[in-house]
Structures are given as C-alpha cells and as structure tokens.
Amino acid sequence: MKKIISKDFWQTLDFMQERQPRLIAVFLLLIALACDVMAFILNWMLGIILLVALVLAIVLVLETLGKIVERTNEYISDLSYRIKRGEQDALVQMPIGILFYSKDYDVQWINPTLQQYFGKVDLLGKPLKNVDSELLALISKHQEEETFFEAKWRDNYFNILIQPELHVAYLYEVTHYVELQKHFSESQLVIGQIFVDNYDEVTKAMNDKSVSNLSNFVTNAIDDWANEFGMFVKRVDEDQYLVLGYTKSLQEIEQQRFKILDTIREWTSKQNSPLTLSIGLAYGQENLASLAKLAQSNLDLALGRGGDQAVVRQDDGQARFYGGKTNPMAKRTRVRARMISQALKELMAQSEEIFVMGHTRPDMDSIGACLGLRRIAEMNKKQCWIVLDNEVVHSDIARLLEELGAYPEIKEKIISTDEALEKISANSLLVMVDHSKPSMALSPRLYERLQDKLMIIDHHRRGEEFPENPLLVYIEPYASSTCELITEMFEYQSRDSEPINKLEATAMLTGIIIDTKSFSMNTGTRTFDAASYLRSVGADLEMTRHFMKESATQYLQRNHLIDRVEFIGNSMAVCAGEDGRPYDPVTAAQAADSLLDVSGVHASFVITSRPQGKVGISARSNGEINVQLIMEKMGGGGHLSNAATQIEGQSVSQVKRALLAILEELAEDGDAQD
C-alpha cells in the first residue's frame, strides 16, 4: 500500500498523465462511489461491504498496473540496449562500407568493411583527396542523388548511397552480381545467316575446277573467321551458311567491324571473281523460332541495301550496320527484271485500279517513274492514278506539268491526295516508287489505307524503316534510278498495246540523267541500255535540257551556298546556309553536286533550312566515301554516293556541329572510307 501512494509509483504510470485516460479513470471512480452511496441508502451494511470491495479492487488494479508497467519498462530498456548494441555491431561488422567525412571531406570514421579496401593504411583525420581521389570524385559527383547508384571503384562494382546532410557514404559491393549479369549477357544465343552475293552469276561462266577452288576458299575463310571467335558455322547451300554463337563473340566481331567482309571482297576481286557477303545476325530472344525469323529479316535487310554488309539487331532494337562501303554490283542477267515485271502484271490483273505515289517534294526520277508505271498499267488495260501535290513542286516538275497540257489523257490521271482517298477501294493497289520509307511517302494517309495492298519499286538502299508486309518489293541499289528499273519492264509488256509516248520517255530519261549526273555516276551497262531504249521511242534531249534549267533565283541561291563552303581535311566540303533563311532542297542538292567538281573533294554536305521549318542535309560523294552511312547516323539514308536527312527542332548551326562531330569520328576509324 505504501508503494502505491508513493510519488514514484504514479510517475511510472505514464498513461495516467494523459488527460483522456485520467478522465476515464475519474469517471469510473465516480460511478463506483455513486453505486456505493446508493448501497448505503438501501442498507448501511451493504454500503460498507461495497466500499471495502471498492478499495480492495482499486488497490489490486493499481498493484497490477504497477507490475505491468515495471515489466514493460524492463522490456523496453532491454530492447533499447539490444537495438543500440545491434546498431553499433552493424556499423562495425555489416558487409556495407560506411564512411563519415567532414564538410572539408576529411575522413572522420570508417568501418572495418570499408577499411579492407585500404589495407592497413590509417585514414582517420586525413583529407579524402589524399587518401583516394577516385572515391572523392564519386562522392562529389553524386551528392544530389537520393537513391543508390552503381559505380566502379578500385576494380570492383558498388551500389553507393550518399547522404550529404549527414556527410555519410555507404558502399555495398555488387561485383559478383555484375559479373553474373555480364556472363548472362555474354552467353545469349546468336543466330545468323551468311549469304554469298552474286554467287550464281560469278560461277556461271567458270569451269568446275575454278568453281570448286572459289567455293573452297570462301568456305575456309568463313570457317577460319568463325573459329577465331568461337562460333559455329554450317554450310547449308552453295551460297548460304548458318551461324551459331554467343553475344560475347559477337561483341568481338563488331569491334573488328566484320573483317570477313573485307577478306572475301578483296581476295575474290584479285581473282577476277568478285564475291561479297551479306550477313544477318540476331540475338536477345529466348524463342528460337522468333530469333531465326529476326535473323532472316536482318539478312533480307542487308540484301535489300545492296549486300556486302552485315546487319545486327537485338530483339526489337535498332539495327546496326557494318560494311556496305562499296557500290553493289549489277547482276549480269535480266531474269529478276522479267520476274518482277510478270509479278507486277499479275498484281495489276487482280486489282481494280492502281495508285502510283512518289516521295515528298518529288524529283524527276520519282515523277518519271510514276508516268512509266501509269503507261504499264494502261498497257495492261488498268486504270492508274498518279498521286501528286501540285502546289509543292520544283521548277522542273512544273515545266513537265505544263508540257502535259498537250496530253489531257495523262494529265487527268494526276490527282491530289484527297482525291485519291476518295477513289480507293478494297481492291486497289498502291505502288510506292523511288522510296521505301513510309515516313517519306507523299501521302501517309494513303499509305495507311493501302499498306496491305502495296508494291515498292526503288533504287535506294533499304533502310531499317520499311513497310511490314508489302505484296512485292523490287529494290535494286545497283540501279542508277527508279526510271531505269521501270524502263526495263517495257520489254516484257504486250506488243499490242500503245507504246510509251515521247513526253513520258523524255521525263524518264531526264530522271536517269539527273540521278546519274549526266551518266557520270552510278552508271552501268543497263543504264545505257535503258537510256538507249527511251531515245528509240522518242525521248527528246532538248526537252530534257529545258526541264533541267534553273531560274535566276535558284542560280544565285546555289552560288551563295557554295560561297559559304568550308573544307574539312583533304577530302570533304561542308557548307551551311544562314539560320532561319529557307533554301530550296533542289538548290541545296545542286550545290552539293557542284562541290564534287572541286579537285580533291570526295564528299560534300550542304546544310540548309527548309521551307517546312526543318533543317536538311544534302550529301553527295564520288564513291570513295559512303555518305549513306553518315546520313543514317543522323536519321536519314539514301545511296552510297547520294544521301540526305531532315532534322527537326535544331538550327543550321547545331546540325552543322553534329555533322562535324560525326565526320571527325568516322575519320578516326575510317568507317566511311572504302
């Protein structure tokens, strides 16, 4: 009882110091007293008994509460001691390095785990920059990061957390997990195919001994190359090989930039039997069927870009290109042209009407190809419409449209994109000419409506952006122009139909002349054959010169651009227009062509603002530098000697700096050179 009435006892009952518990206790006590008073009124003996019972109950409750509080305090005290002891032991023994440092980055305390990385060196009180400048740099660099970050320190990998307000750094070593992750990434399966370009054409005229020697060399060279990098290769056909390996080997192969491409090309060229390889490799998927399909898609992409190159892609990632430094060789037969012509006739026969569409801001090759295809459709008794935006055409196209006034049966077939959208039906066929990128289509809406009924005819190297399921693809990067490809198809059309007329032939010949720079570039024997055919059916050279004339404004613009030229190294010329001043794209292209006439210039780049608010680059080459690879790095594409790109959201000066950085990078590793 004495313990209960003591001051210390009531101080231990902390909860009684709170207002609400105290009110509840007083309320219950008042109720008990009221009941006892009522008992005294009824019977004084009963009242005394209840009063004694109430006093005993209060004493018992308070005694019990006292013991509970005492035991609770003992438990909390023991738990607090254990927690503090655990915290102290954790700081010393846990496998996380802990560093306390001052505002001046002096070492104030370091736990044994982190001390292991410094050996027996005494660190306390020493400036961190004298102890380990690398660790100081990591702490300073990541002061603002609120979560763990991964970094390499002392040849090990750590997850590091910095608490700048407490001046504490925590380092948890994850080297083992990083090595496991690296091992996993290097052990992913790579599936690929190797195709020997032009094998049938090259070996067709050889005797059996020469074919055997050539085949043995190619097979041995590919075997040696695969064995060097620990990959498995199996010949599955005369001109095709299956490749299996791991991503670790692929990384080494990419570092050497697929030297097998150069080995095969150089040796076979010396033997007057020029062969090249096309390689498609894929990795990053667990499903082997999907991986094999992706590898085949990569091989198709390499072939579509002209061969002599490798395409590597991870799952749905961006493709990486290697090689492709030389112009693709023209095939020696017209078999493919005949097969494509026949397939085109069958597609036309199955369609109600045909729509032919070039790229945005069409040139003479694009319009000439459209006119040629319209004539082929007419020869096959099919309705064909040419989709063209008459409001955005260059002067040469405007002159052609004026001349078409004398041919109302042709001019009435030239319609706008809105008219085309009204005319299409479920059984219409769309032919994209002189381009294969949907983003370059004159009418993206028309492409979306007919993307399942689509044919592509193009002479540019195929890019990564490509329609998913075209019905027919005719891409021949060796050809000078799309007009050349379509001209070859006339040989396989019906002789009973009306032949190509003078204006159509002139437009197609103009397209060939412009794309070949008057037969000085990208020209093969079949180019001259196509030009000869067009001349034989009435193509007028005087009219071609009329189409190619430029206005005084364009002439002055071109000379203004050339006047701003800068020569990079000994072989490249770069000129940039003024920021905010739009230039005609054709004028920029003509300026790039003119710069190639300067002695020693192998590649030229003209950067200008475009009327649409974008910045464009026209790139040209004499064949010694692959401008297509350079433009692809900037989001564009094209041909080895003729490429371009358009960039949004940047000024001419910014684009110029980006281009110069790429040229400098390529100059260091020689990637753009043959």
- Tens digits of residue pLDDT in 480-498: 899 999 999 998 887 777 7
Average pLDDT, stretch 435-447? Answer: 90
Mean pLDDT score across all residues of the chain: 85
The tokens 């894929």 sit on which residue? 282
640 or 17: which leads in pLDDT: 640
| pLDDT band with cut points at 50, 70 and 90 for residue 92 | low
d(CA 312, CA 134): 37
Q: Which helix (H) or strand (E) holds 576?
A: strand 572-576
Partners of 439 in beta bridges = none
Say which residue the tokens 């059916």 belong to.
537
Nearest C-alpha neighbor of 353 from the set 322, 324, 327, 386: 386
Q: Which of 88-97, 224-233, 260-269 has the highest mean pLDDT?
A: 224-233
| CA angle at 569 for the pair 567 and 574, rounded to the nearest 5° | 30
Q: What percent of the chain has pLDDT over 70?
A: 91
Tell me what pLDDT residue 511 has: 93
- Does residue 282 have a pLDDT over 90? yes
* pLDDT-derived band at 332, boundaries 50, 70, 90: very low
Residue 576 backbone dihedrals phi, psi, to 5 degrees: -125, 135
Q: Does residue 126 have a pLDDT over 70?
A: yes
Taking the C-alpha atoms of residue 247 and residue 260, their distance in angstroms, rounded to an integer, is 18
The pLDDT tens digits for 565-612 are 998 877 899 999 888 888 888 888 889 988 888 888 889 999 999 877
Contact between 389 and 442 (Cβ < 8 Å): yes
Any bridge partners for residue 157, and if so which? 152
Measuring CA to CA, which residue among 135, 128, 279 is closest to residue 195? 279
List pLDDT tens digits, range 167-215.
Answer: 899 999 999 999 998 888 888 999 999 999 888 878 887 888 888 999 9
* pTM for this entry: 0.62
| Predicted confidence (pLDDT) at residue 223 exceeds the cutoff of 60 | yes
DSSP state of 6: S
Among 586, 637, 392, 362, which Cα is nearest to 482's? Answer: 362
pLDDT for position 674? 42
Q: How many CB atoms lie within 10 A of CB 305?
A: 27
Q: Which two tokens stand for residue 334?
A: 């017209």
Is there a contact between 101 and 170 (Cβ–Cβ < 8 Å)? Answer: no
pLDDT score of 557 more than 60: yes
Residue 297 one-letter amino acid: S
Contact call for residues 498 and 373 (beta carbons, < 8 A): no
Q: Are 393 and 422 in contact (CB under 8 A)?
A: no
CA distances from 580 to 472, 575, 592, 605, 653 (A): 42, 15, 20, 18, 10
Q: Are 560 and 584 in contact (CB under 8 A)?
A: no
Question: How does 576-602 read in b/e, with b if 16+ C-beta sit within 10 Å?
Answer: bbeeeeebbbbbbbbbbbbbbeeeebb
| Amino acid code (one letter) for 514 | I
Determine phi and psi for 623, rounding to 5 degrees.
105, -15
Mean pLDDT on 289-310 = 86
Tokens (6 digits) for 284? 């990053």
Name the one residue in this structure whose structure tokens are 């196209």. 397
Residue 324 Rama label (left phi>0; alpha psi -120 to 50; beta):
left
Residue 61 has pLDDT above 80, yes or no: no
With a cut of 50, say whether residue 127 has pLDDT above it: yes
Cα 356 to the center of its chain, rounded Å: 30
pLDDT at residue 558 is higher than 90: no
The DSSP secondary structure of 599-612, one letter per residue, reads TT--EEEEEEE-TT
Split at pLDDT 50, 70, 90, the class of 240 is very high
- The single residue listed with the structure tokens 């982190």 is 114
How far apart CA 39 and CA 357 sit, in angstroms, is 108
Give the tokens for residue 298. 């990569």
pLDDT(456) > 50: yes
Two structure tokens written together for 52:
């004694």
Give the pLDDT of residue 13: 52
Best-predicted range by mean pLDDT among 53-57, 267-271, 637-641? 267-271
Q: Which residue has the higher pLDDT, 509 or 166?
A: 509
| pLDDT value at residue 297 | 86
84 has a pLDDT exceeding 80:
no
Q: Work out the angle between the directed axes of helices 502-515 and 364-379 (0-180°, nearest 10).
A: 140
